[in-house]
A and B are shown apart, each in its own frame.
Chain A
Amino acid sequence: MTQLDCPAARDDIDAYAIGALDAEEARALEAHLSRCSDCSRLAEDARESGTMAVAMTAPLASSSPALKARVMASAAVLTDATSRPRHGARRWQAAAAALVAAVIAIFAWGMVMQRRVDRLDERNAALRADATAQSTELARVHTELQQMTDFNARLAGTVGTQDAILDVVTQPDVRRTPMTGTAVAPRASARYLWSPAQEVGALMAQDLPSLGAGQTYQMWVVYADKWVSGGSFSVDASGAGRLVVRTAEQGEPAGAAPSWFCVTIEASGGTTGHTGAMVLRGSAQ
Chain B
Amino acid sequence: MDYTGLRDEELMDRLASRDLNAFEALYDRYADAVFSVALRVVGDTHVAEDVTQDVFLRVWRRPDHFDVRRGRFVTWLLSVTRNRSIDERRSYSRRLRHEALPSAEEEDDVLPSTDARDDPALATVLSDERQAVRRAMETLPPEQRLAIQLAYFGGLTQQEIANKLGQPLGTVKTRIRLGMQKMRGALEERRNKDRTF
Q: Which residues of A approach B to under 8 Å, CB–CB?
A: 11-12, 14-15, 17-22, 25, 44-64, 67-68, 70-72, 74-76, 78-79, 82-83
Beta-carbon contact of A62 and B133 below 8 Å: no
Which 3 residue pairs of A and B lie closest in terms of their CB atoms, listed nearest first?
Answer: A20-B151, A14-B180, A58-B40
User: Could you tell me the distance in whole angstroms from the C-beta of A59 to the nearest C-beta in chain B?
Assistant: 6
Residues of B near A18 (CB, < 8 A) are 148, 151-152, 176, 180
Beta-carbon contact of B183 and A59 below 8 Å: no
Looking at the complex, which one of B48, B70, B118, B159 makes contact with A22 (CB distance below 8 Å)? B159
Other than the known A17-B180, A62-B35, A71-B57, what 15 A-B pairs have Cβ atoms closer than 8 Å? A14-B180, A46-B180, A48-B75, A51-B82, A51-B152, A52-B75, A54-B152, A55-B37, A55-B81, A58-B40, A58-B153, A63-B31, A63-B35, A75-B57, A79-B18
8 contacts across the A-B interface (CB closer than 8 A): A20-B161, A50-B184, A53-B183, A53-B187, A55-B78, A62-B32, A63-B32, A78-B61
Beta-carbon contact of A61 and B39 below 8 Å: yes
Looking at the complex, which one of B36, B74, B151, B186 makes contact with A61 (CB distance below 8 Å)? B36
Beta-carbon contact of A52 and B78 below 8 Å: yes
Beta-carbon contact of B75 and A47 below 8 Å: yes
Residues of B near A58 (CB, < 8 A) are 36-37, 39-40, 153
Beta-carbon contact of B183 and A50 below 8 Å: yes
Beta-carbon contact of B117 and A22 below 8 Å: no
How distant is the Cα of A61 from the Cα of B45 in the complex, in angstroms? 10
Query: In B90-132, which residues have CB < 8 Å from any A CB?
Result: 111, 115, 117-119, 122-123, 126, 129-130
User: Could you tell me the distance in whole angstroms from the C-beta of B52 to the nearest C-beta in chain A?
Assistant: 6
Beta-carbon contact of A62 and B119 below 8 Å: yes
User: Could you tell me the distance in whole angstroms from the C-beta of B56 to the nearest C-beta in chain A?
Assistant: 5
User: Could you tell me the distance in whole angstroms from the C-beta of A244 to the nearest C-beta in chain B?
Assistant: 69
Residues of B near A50 (CB, < 8 A) are 180, 183-184
> Known contacts A20-B158, A61-B32, A64-B49; is A71 also within 8 Å of B180 by CB?
no
Query: In B130-160, which residues have CB < 8 Å from any A CB?
Result: 130, 133-134, 136-137, 148-149, 151-153, 155-159
Beta-carbon contact of B183 and A54 below 8 Å: yes
How distant is the Cα of A48 from the Cα of B129 in the complex, in angstroms? 13
How distant is the Cα of A61 from the Cα of B33 in the complex, in angstroms? 8
Beta-carbon contact of A20 and B176 below 8 Å: yes
> Known contacts A63-B35, A72-B27; is A48 also within 8 Å of B71 by CB?
yes
Query: In B148-178, which residues have CB < 8 Å from any A CB?
Result: 148-149, 151-153, 155-159, 161, 173, 176-177
The residue of chain A having its C-beta at the shortest distance from the C-beta of B130 within the complex is A56
Residues of A near B118 (CB, < 8 A) are 59-60
How distant is the Cα of A279 from the Cα of B191 in the complex, in angstroms? 97
Residues of B near A67 (CB, < 8 A) are 31, 35, 49, 52-53
Looking at the complex, which one of B60, B133, B151 makes contact with A53 (CB distance below 8 Å)? B133
Looking at the complex, which one of A15, A22, A48, A56 makes contact with B72 (CB distance below 8 Å)? A48
Beta-carbon contact of B115 and A71 below 8 Å: no
The residue of chain A having its C-beta at the shortest distance from the C-beta of B82 within the complex is A55
**Interface bits B173-197 vs A (CB < 8 Å: 1, else 0):** 1001100110110111001000000
User: Could you tell me the distance in whole angstroms from the C-beta of A65 to the nearest C-beta in chain B?
Assistant: 10
Residues of A near B9 (CB, < 8 A) are none
User: Could you tell me the distance in whole angstroms from the C-beta of A7 to the nearest C-beta in chain B?
Assistant: 12
Beta-carbon contact of A22 and B133 below 8 Å: no
> Known contacts A19-B155, A60-B36; is A53 also within 8 Å of B136 by CB?
yes
Beta-carbon contact of B78 and A15 below 8 Å: no
Beta-carbon contact of A19 and B83 below 8 Å: yes
Beta-carbon contact of A71 and B53 below 8 Å: yes
User: Could you tell me the distance in whole angstroms from the C-beta of A203 to the nearest C-beta in chain B?
Assistant: 74
Beta-carbon contact of A56 and B79 below 8 Å: no
Does B16 reach chain A (CB closer than 8 Å)? no
Beta-carbon contact of A71 and B82 below 8 Å: no
